Structure 1
Amino acid sequence: MTSRSSATTARPSSGGRAVARTQTLLPGSNGIGTVRRTVLPGGLRIVTETLPSVRSATFGIWANVGSRDETPALNGATHYLEHLLFKGTAKRTALDISSAIDAVGGEMNAFTAKEYTCYYARVLDTDLPLAIDVVCDMLTGSLIAPEDVDAERGVILEEIAMTEDDPGDCVHDLFAHTMLGDTPLGRPVLGTVDTINALNRGQIARFYKKHYDPTHLVVAAAGNVDHTTVVRQVRRAFEKAGALTRTDAVPLAPRQGSRTLRTAGKVELLNRRTEQAHVVLGMPGLARTDDRRWALGVLNAALGGGMSSRLFQEVREKRGLAYSVYSYTSGFADCGLFGVYAGCRPSQVHDVLKLCRDELDRVAAHGLADDEIARAIGQLSGSTVLGLEDTGALMNRIGKSELCWGEQMSVDDMLARIAEVTPDDVREVAGELLTHRPSLSVIGPLKDKQADRLHEAVS
């Protein structure tokens, strides 16, 4: 990714306070879309994108911690902690937290992924100071009270049960396990019933202290915001909590690694009494920092990214074998996954898998036609822009970019990278990835003979 940064500017200290460092990463146009970044002396990063034409603002805090940072015994701790940060601080009860945002018509939520966690609130621009105060208080002052740990355990167990009741969702967790095994990336973000029941308050509190240091955090705000004002309000909130005492601290660098996936031909079947069989056929993909990800994005769009894609046309339109069929990519710091999902009647599983495998082999051998690539580039470009039409999406983009890449890319630069993808680029990445022997994950009511035949799909 690329950033166009102005020279670093130092804001004069007042009253002996250490100096914050501020940069303009993307200049925008006439003040619209300007992205600025400030690093506070305690190592806390603050990025903002200014859109004066809107009346809303989204404020979020990203933590560089996800389920891949957990030991087997701590599986699910990151997500458990996400829940607990909403349960109360020294200043606010759980009801105070929720009612403060509800009272101004705002939205507040959080999500946990394998490599990061995000807490955010979307409010009217005039209510941004309130959102900043509430979210910062949650992140710096959570009590993690023993009674809350016990009460929330039941909520998380219900969330696990809800996910397991949705095989179309659960099959993706199974696919991660099929490809990555019993590793931090291969385990479910929610944890398991056993690990959640075993976690105690001490373990979660230590996890909180270790991973929610300001050097591990990125604050992001987008909408009708003023960067200097946001920095001042965030700094005040963190200093009141005593969270910026290490004046020489530096931000944690983005994750790095060189993990190579060698899983091939593995089959995992979870036999359940469902109306449909849910399948994911896939192979290793690309890390999120790989420059070939743009070509992979075009390949994914053409192969299974929309109604005109090959998989949708072959499996659903021409043969009516599935309602939902698509391909997708997942990129991590050091590896990635590429998968094809389909939900179909159990009796049609082998026909669907054969069609998907044949299409993957065909594209690996012959690439895509020029018109398919042109259509995929247009689809990817349009969806990229349309997906950034609200302040929440903009906050996600700048926050994740800072945390995962350590730099920002303008929308124009992103569109240029997509437009630069050539048929040879797509052919090269297809030839490298799709020639891997795939692995397979299936959830459904398959009979023994059907289950035995699943290995044919990956042979």
Structure 2
Amino acid sequence: MTSRSSVTTARASSKARAVARTQTLLKGTNGIGTVRRTVLPGGLRVVTETLPSVRSATFGIWANVGSRDETPTLNGATHYLEHLLFKGTAKRSALDISAAIDAVGGEMNAFTAKEYTCYYARVLDTDLPLAIDIVCDMLTGSLITAEDVDAERGVILEEIAMTEDDPGDCVHDLFAHTMLGDTPLGRPVLGTVDTINALDRGRIARFYKKHYDPTHLVVAAAGNIDHATVVRQVRRAFERAGALSRTDAVPVAPREGSRTLRTAGRVELLNRKTEQAHVVLGVPGLARTDDRRWALGVLSTALGGGMSSRLFQEVREKRGLAYSVYSYTSGFADCGLFGVYAGCRPSQVHDVLKICRDEIDRVASEGLTDEEIGRAIGQLSGSTVLGLEDTGALMNRIGKSELCWGDQMSVDDMLARMAQVTPDDVREVAAEVLGHRPSLSVIGPLKDKQADRLEEAVS
């Protein structure tokens, strides 16, 4: 028989182990913009940003799993699972989930990327407890039935078909494959028709159990909220599901890697009967943790990030060769991509490519002018601030920062870091990144002679 004193001691010990740890990561002004983090028993992280001046709140849960965590035969499983978590739990049917959010005028959605997945709901601040309960229930209690797997298969196949019908979107998947090959990062997030048809309930359920452990999750909330209240409601929801039983668990660290991407001169052409030729010309970029990413962001903005950028002026304004032309960067844990996209008439694809290649080579060898750099910094700073005007954007920022960097940076610090970029910084990163021989991806109605000339464009 256990004595009363030993029971009391055990309870006290259990309570001590179960204490949540809370930190203030960023101090706002008069409580506005304050970011706090609490690590719950079980390794679940909760980060919030308080904005009392609004009447909305966005609640999200980020999972440290994306398509790069899939084997070749599991390609598409992460995105498939994202769909299935909306199909019902032991407490709610799929209709119950959607009807509850619709009834309060909220919005609910999710997205899957190559390195993470996010589920979120945006509601009035008074309805935040409902959003927390529903999203937490989905993440911890989804049934993932065989019937739902089979029913949703058709939806995902339609989504793949829809993407393939949009060559302006599909060309970016092709570019990722051109640069990264048949690797987890090079495969499409949606998977393929073959891999989706091959996935069954058992394989998806095992994937769910492996990757949706609380140590792999970050809860993020922003808006007119109280941190302690959010933590209490989240903890209650996860404990009710039995998901915080491992009181000694610690959160997984942000992804790391040592992949050096040095693909050069690869060409992939996909012949399709489209009205335009869709082109991406690109080179290896920088990992998202590389401190030079600030200079690369300025470089990308000046080269092809707006109406005053070099590519927009040269390709569209001066010559009228394309409606859409821009540059972009993608940073992963251990590598990155830098690309230039253009959509143009097939007969003009060689002219567009030559202009883009000439501008890339010119910037790689000469850098940018002080005026271009100043304008790009101003554009980046303004778009950064304007992009954080709603609670959804704030939730995305703090959730992704916690998951990918394990830290938070204030908006003022971000603006200061952009302002510190010098012409020499841009010249150095331009020479390093743009100095590589580019690779090329094209989707369009290409003739044999055109294909040969396109391969010559990157030689």
TM-score, normalized by length of structure 1? 0.97
Aligned position for 1:378: 378
Give the C-alpha shift of residue 258 in structure 1. Answer: 1.1
Cα shift readout 1:347-377 (whole Å, capped 9, x = no counterpart) = 0000000000000000001000000000000
Between the aligned partners of 1:344 and 1:367, the Cα distance in structure 2 is 27
Between the aligned partners of 2:69 and 2:431, the Cα distance in structure 1 is 33
Give the C-alpha shift of residue 17 in structure 1. Answer: 7.1
Decide whether the 8 Å contact of 1:64 with 1:216 is kept in 2: yes
Q: Cα distance 1:3–1:381, how it changes in 2: closer, same or farther (>3 A)?
A: farther
Decide whether the 8 Å contact of 1:57 with 1:124 is kept in 2: yes
Give the C-alpha shift of residue 15 in structure 1. Answer: 6.4
Aligned position for 1:138: 138
Between the aligned partners of 2:224 and 2:456, the Cα distance in structure 1 is 56
Between the aligned partners of 1:178 and 1:103, the Cα distance in structure 2 is 46
Matched position secondary structure for 1:307: coil
Between the aligned partners of 2:5 and 2:367, the Cα distance in structure 1 is 38
Matched position secondary structure for 2:17: coil
Cα shift readout 1:102-144 (whole Å, capped 9, x = no counterpart) = 0000000000000000000000000000000000000000000
- Decide which moves more: 446-455 or 398-407: 446-455
Cα shift readout 1:166-217 (whole Å, capped 9, x = no counterpart) = 0000000000000000000000000000000000000000000000000000
Q: Cα distance 1:8–1:291, how it changes in 2: closer, same or farther (>3 A)?
A: farther
Decide whether the 8 Å contact of 2:17 with 2:248 is kept in 1: no
Cα shift readout 1:211-262 (whole Å, capped 9, x = no counterpart) = 0000000000000010000000000000000000000000000000110112
Q: Cα distance 1:3–1:210, how it changes in 2: closer, same or farther (>3 A)?
A: farther
Q: Cα distance 1:2–1:99, how it changes in 2: closer, same or farther (>3 A)?
A: farther
Give the C-alpha shift of residue 302 in structure 1. Answer: 0.2
5+ residue gaps, structure 1: none
Between the aligned partners of 2:316 and 2:6, the Cα distance in structure 1 is 51
Give the C-alpha shift of residue 3 in structure 1. Answer: 47
Decide whether the 8 Å contact of 1:303 with 1:309 is kept in 2: yes
* 1:281-300 to 2 correspondences below 5 Å: 281-300=281-300
Between the aligned partners of 2:319 and 2:64, the Cα distance in structure 1 is 45
* 1:167-182 to 2 correspondences below 5 Å: 167-182=167-182
Between the aligned partners of 2:78 and 2:9, the Cα distance in structure 1 is 36
Between the aligned partners of 2:196 and 2:2, the Cα distance in structure 1 is 41
Runs of at least 4 residues of structure 1 off by over 4 A? 1-17
Decide whether the 8 Å contact of 2:295 with 2:426 is kept in 1: yes
TM-score, normalized by length of structure 2? 0.97
Between the aligned partners of 2:4 and 2:384, the Cα distance in structure 1 is 20
Matched position secondary structure for 1:16: helix
Matched position secondary structure for 2:62: strand
Q: Cα distance 1:212–1:457, how it changes in 2: closer, same or farther (>3 A)?
A: same
Give the C-alpha shift of residue 13 in structure 1. Answer: 9.7
Between the aligned partners of 1:91 and 1:316, the Cα distance in structure 2 is 55
Q: Cα distance 1:98–1:13, how it changes in 2: closer, same or farther (>3 A)?
A: farther
Between the aligned partners of 2:74 and 2:14, the Cα distance in structure 1 is 43
Decide whether the 8 Å contact of 2:17 with 2:41 is kept in 1: no
- Decide which moves more: 441-450 or 4-13: 4-13
5+ residue gaps, structure 2: none
Decide whether the 8 Å contact of 1:47 with 1:220 is kept in 2: yes
Give the C-alpha shift of residue 18 in structure 1. Answer: 1.1
Between the aligned partners of 2:222 and 2:122, the Cα distance in structure 1 is 10
Q: Cα distance 1:322–1:6, how it changes in 2: closer, same or farther (>3 A)?
A: farther
* 1:350-369 to 2 correspondences below 5 Å: 350-369=350-369
Cα shift readout 1:282-336 (whole Å, capped 9, x = no counterpart) = 0000000000000000000000000000000000000000000000000000000
Q: Cα distance 1:99–1:79, how it changes in 2: closer, same or farther (>3 A)?
A: same
Q: Cα distance 1:192–1:15, how it changes in 2: closer, same or farther (>3 A)?
A: same
Identity of aligned residues (%): 91
* 1:96-115 to 2 correspondences below 5 Å: 96-115=96-115
Matched position secondary structure for 2:297: helix
Between the aligned partners of 1:116 and 1:158, the Cα distance in structure 2 is 23
Q: Cα distance 1:198–1:6, how it changes in 2: closer, same or farther (>3 A)?
A: farther
- Decide which moves more: 15-24 or 34-43: 15-24
Aligned position for 1:125: 125
Matched position secondary structure for 1:121: strand
Cα shift readout 1:13-65 (whole Å, capped 9, x = no counterpart) = 99677100000000111100000000001000000000000000000000000
Q: Cα distance 1:12–1:226, how it changes in 2: closer, same or farther (>3 A)?
A: farther
Q: Cα distance 1:258–1:49, how it changes in 2: closer, same or farther (>3 A)?
A: same
Decide whether the 8 Å contact of 1:11 with 1:20 is kept in 2: no
Between the aligned partners of 1:299 and 1:3, the Cα distance in structure 2 is 70
Q: Cα distance 1:2–1:153, how it changes in 2: closer, same or farther (>3 A)?
A: farther
Q: Cα distance 1:72–1:444, how it changes in 2: closer, same or farther (>3 A)?
A: same
Q: Cα distance 1:10–1:318, how it changes in 2: closer, same or farther (>3 A)?
A: farther
Q: How many residues align?
A: 459
